[in-house]
Amino acid sequence: MSTLAEITDALVAQLVADVDETTGTWSPCWRRFTSLPSNALTGNPYQGGNTIALWAAQVGHGYERPLWATYRQWAELGGQVTKGERSTRCVKWVVKETDDPKKPKLLPSVFHLFNVAQQQGWEPPVVEPLVHDDVVAAALAHLRAVPYTSIVGEPAYAPGADVVMMPPDEAFTSSEALCAILAHELAHWTGHPSRLHRDMSGRFGSDAYAGEELVAEISSCITAATLGVDPGPLRQDHAIYLQHWLRVLKADSSLLFTAAAAAQKATEHLLAYSATAFDTVSPPTLEPSLV
């Protein structure tokens, strides 16, 4: 078994362990944070599957802060990794040249990170907390800047019509809930052929449909964490995908990193917009939708 397979298998096993067998509820690691794991030296956030791996490690070990660095980077910061501490393995993709210069290979390379709680000698700078209402308002404004076409309806995205359906704002219990659900539907929106062109052809119950839902689920949480808002618990209407997700991930754990990479691209696409969102339009004829 390759090292990448070992990492993904262990990560999927931890996700499976997060299921409460008594209640049947699931609280995956990506739904527990309002900030991204980042490098203590560079300040850069980690991406894709590494975000999931570090969130999972933070949950599993009870680390309070999402700050990470390699052994050498902690030394550069003036810290020292505590003796006996075990690293969290992450993966970067290294380009390898092939006989065809237009088709280079991407090979996984493992690197090891330690949380700030695993070192001594360095203290993170004190950061003044932002006003909660300002953070949520800014997050919603950023999402509303995406040029999507919307109609009033239960939360869903119709790929053929390229329309996002959302209830009126007042139907939500909080602005954070509105942000989280809108981020999910907009993640689906990025998969349209005119944008990131993901496979949106899967029907309800198929692996393709479950895979697209997993991409949107992870993307919405990465988007929320990037914007500093709480993604909240897993939506009840999405809990029906739980067993399908777990079955698919158990069968091929590499799909988690694939889904996380697609989710990262979806988030980056959404947050690249700065134009004002389009007004609500009259309802077109809709086909079966992604929710």
How confident is the model at residue 274, as a pLDDT? 52
pTM, to two decimals = 0.87
- Rounded Cα distance, 204 and 275, in Å: 33
- Rounded Cα distance, 75 and 193, in Å: 47
Bridge-based pairing state of the strands 105-115 and 67-69: antiparallel
Distance of CA 205 to the CA centre of its chain: 22
184, burial (CB in 10 Å: exposed 0-12, middle 13-18, buried 19+) = buried
How confident is the model at residue 187, as a pLDDT? 98
- Which DSSP state fits 100? S
Q: How many CA atoms lie within 13 A of 33 on its CB side?
A: 27
Contact call for residues 225 and 218 (beta carbons, < 8 A): no
110, burial (CB in 10 Å: exposed 0-12, middle 13-18, buried 19+) = middle
User: Which pLDDT tens digits describe the chain residue by residue (291 residues)?
Assistant: 457 778 888 888 877 777 777 776 777 889 899 999 999 999 999 999 999 999 999 999 999 999 999 999 999 999 999 999 999 999 988 888 777 777 778 888 899 999 999 999 999 988 887 788 889 999 999 999 999 999 999 999 999 999 999 999 999 999 999 999 999 999 999 999 999 999 888 777 688 888 898 999 999 999 999 999 999 887 776 667 777 787 788 778 778 889 999 999 999 999 999 534 333 333 334 444 454
